[in-house]
Structure 1
Amino acid sequence: MSVVMMSVSEDEAEIRLDRWFRRHFPHLTQGALQKLCRTGQVRVDGKRAETATRLMPGQSVRVPPIPQAARPAPIVVAVNENDRRELERMVVYRDEQVIVLNKPAGLPVQGGPGISRHVDGMLDALRGELEHRPRLVHRLDRDTSGLLLLARTPGVAGKLAASFRTREVRKIYWAVVVGKPTPAEGVIDLPLAKLGIGPGSLTIAAGRDEEDAANARTEYMVRDAAARKLSWLELSPLTGRMHQLRVHCEALGTPILGDPKYGGPGAHLDGFDDRLHLHARQLELPHPAGGWLSVAAGLPPHMRETFKSLGFEAGALPAVRRS
């Protein structure tokens, strides 16, 4: 391999130089790249650069000869046709940068002990002709249904992850809970602490000074209620802690209907489907290509049935908005 000049793409805006090299030359170690930078063999727009240098679209990167022997063989993934059809049914929005799925309840987002089938393992089915497979940029609990955002390239994944970190993404969930919270709207501001490991290990912290307590805040509003037996809540997490909404609803004294981990016996009522009634209804986010994207997802079958039996009116599904 001889010296080549490579241009930074629009998709690679603000990526670090070392991450840019890992993307294009995954076999090159960090130590080897640092040596190439230190000796001036790697340059950006003709100037020496450090591994932490942020790149901008259109910049030219000088790539010195890099041994080919260490390159890994390309991975060819066989796509299951059933997975392809199932994922296509989940797609509620798709463009050149992002894909939005309406994940069914019960399907894990990622693998783990005893989990062999999950969304992440199926994403090659949505790759199409692109160089990269779609990437997850956030998570949903296995039992939670609703909107799951995917990035179609690594650069887009970085931009979307930054939007989640800076809380620019607004997430709206719908839940059916047992009881009716008082007051009917407000902010739940209760830190969470983890006890042990594994599913169901989160609980409300005893105090804000407790070791490992994590700040957690959730906006809530009662949208409708069936007497005081069951209520339809709209929830907007202002922080992104694991199981935050489920723990916060339980802390209000109104556990989510069908919650197997945090609800206790009071969350399981005769005559209602005994699955978690929590749905990621809407996402509003800055689109990686500019402007804003707003997407909503219809309720899963078990929540539609519960809404019908309680007389809750979800109304028409809002159309996708790109502005």
Structure 2
Amino acid sequence: MTDIPILFEDGEALVINKPAGLPVDRPKKGGRCLEDHFEQLRLGFQREPSPVHRLDTDTSGCLLLARNPKSLKRFSKAFEDRVVEKRYLGILTGIPSETEGTIELSLAKISSAEKGWRMIAAKKGKPSVTHWKVIGESGGHALVEFRPETGRTHQIRIHCEAGLGMPLLGDPVYGSGKGAPRTMLHAAGLVVPREKKPTIEASAPMPRDFLALGFTDSPE
């Protein structure tokens, strides 16, 4: 048994429901991370699994792990080729005037001694595209479904702030960090096509802290 819920499993892949607050990579200052669970996640296999992509520490939900080097290479290429379908849920600090749309911004990374690093919208940055749709409202906040085409660092978080004009609830970098114990972003669904095997499909249930704010899990 593993402490981390497994959403999909076969001979070359695992999709786990990563808990909020658990970093994928070991923090520079030390502390726990997903690697501490790899031994459990072997599930009888000789090799430990390897993360194919990354989720922010605060972000919960679907994370794909490869169970051997060949599948890691294939899955990584699928992400690079943008054939992987990703579905996120996020709670905004307010309610947008429109109910759906597409955000296209070029993003660049900046760093300062006081605030550390963050992403900003910049003409010379890398292009990024996110499709979004409001699927619920509660307590003056909107529950939004995000379907990113690209996979830039902090893409959805900066798209909320710079594209929608309101950050995700609880985001300490692009918002005030207030209103929730973490940045309210959840990787709700993942679809990874494969040539010779069935498509990997996984969905992670609505987290408890989303439910506590009055939102209910919505149909796909």
| TM-score scaled by length of structure 1 | 0.63
User: Could you tell me how far apart the structure 2 residues matched to 1:164 and 1:125 are?
Assistant: 26
Task: Pick 1 or 2: higher relative contact order, CA cutoff 8 A, min separation 6.
Answer: 2
Specify the code of the residue in structure 2 equivalent to 1:214: K
Q: 1:128 to 1:179 in 2, by over 3 A?
A: closer
Give a deviation string over 1:191-223, Cα, whole Å, max 9, x none. 111112796421111xx2x3xx11111111111
Q: 1:249 to 1:164 in 2, by over 3 A?
A: same
Give a deviation string over 1:120-176, Cα, whole Å, max 9, x none. 242122224433211110000000011111011111111111110111100000001
Q: How many pairs are equivalent?
A: 217
Q: 1:130 to 1:118 in 2, by over 3 A?
A: same
RMSD over aligned Cα, in angstroms? 2.0
Structure 2 counterpart SS, 1:259: coil
Give a deviation string over 1:210-247, Cα, whole Å, max 9, x none. 3xx111111111112247x2101000111111001000
- Tell me if the contact between 2:193 and 2:199 (Cα under 8 Å) persists in the aligned partners: yes
Give a deviation string over 1:221-276, Cα, whole Å, max 9, x none. 1112247x210100011111100100000111121011111113xx623xxx3321
Please name the residue that 2:3 is paired with: 86
Q: 1:200 to 1:222 in 2, by over 3 A?
A: farther
Q: Which has the higher helix share?
A: 1
Structure number, greater radius of gyration: 1
What is the aligned counterpart of 1:285 among 181, 192, 209? Answer: 192
User: Could you tell me how far apart the structure 2 residues matched to 1:118 and 1:127 are?
Assistant: 16
Please name the residue that 1:179 is paired with: 94
| TM-score scaled by length of structure 2 | 0.90
Is 1:237 the counterpart of 2:140? The answer is no
Residue 289 of structure 1 deviates from its aligned partner by 4.3
Is 1:170 the counterpart of 2:85? The answer is yes
Give a deviation string over 1:64-101, Cα, whole Å, max 9, x none. xxxxxxxxxxxxxxxxxxxx6323xx212211111111
Q: 1:298 to 1:289 in 2, by over 3 A?
A: same
Residue 117 of structure 1 deviates from its aligned partner by 1.2
Q: 1:103 to 1:116 in 2, by over 3 A?
A: same
Please name the residue that 1:203 is paired with: 120
User: Could you tell me how far apart the structure 1 residues matched to 2:138 and 2:81 are?
Assistant: 37
Please name the residue that 2:178 is paired with: 268
Structure 2 counterpart SS, 1:172: strand
Is 1:314 the counterpart of 2:186? The answer is no
- Tell me if the contact between 2:8 and 2:201 (Cα under 8 Å) persists in the aligned partners: no
- Tell me if the contact between 1:200 and 1:262 (Cα under 8 Å) persists in the aligned partners: no
Give a deviation string over 1:4-28, Cα, whole Å, max 9, x none. xxxxxxxxxxxxxxxxxxxxxxxxx
Q: Which has the higher strand share?
A: 2
Alignment gaps of 5+ in structure 2: none
Specify the code of the residue in structure 2 equivalent to 1:255: P
- Tell me if the contact between 1:156 and 1:288 (Cα under 8 Å) persists in the aligned partners: no
Specify the code of the residue in structure 2 equivalent to 1:140: L
Alignment gaps of 5+ in structure 1: 1-83, 319-323
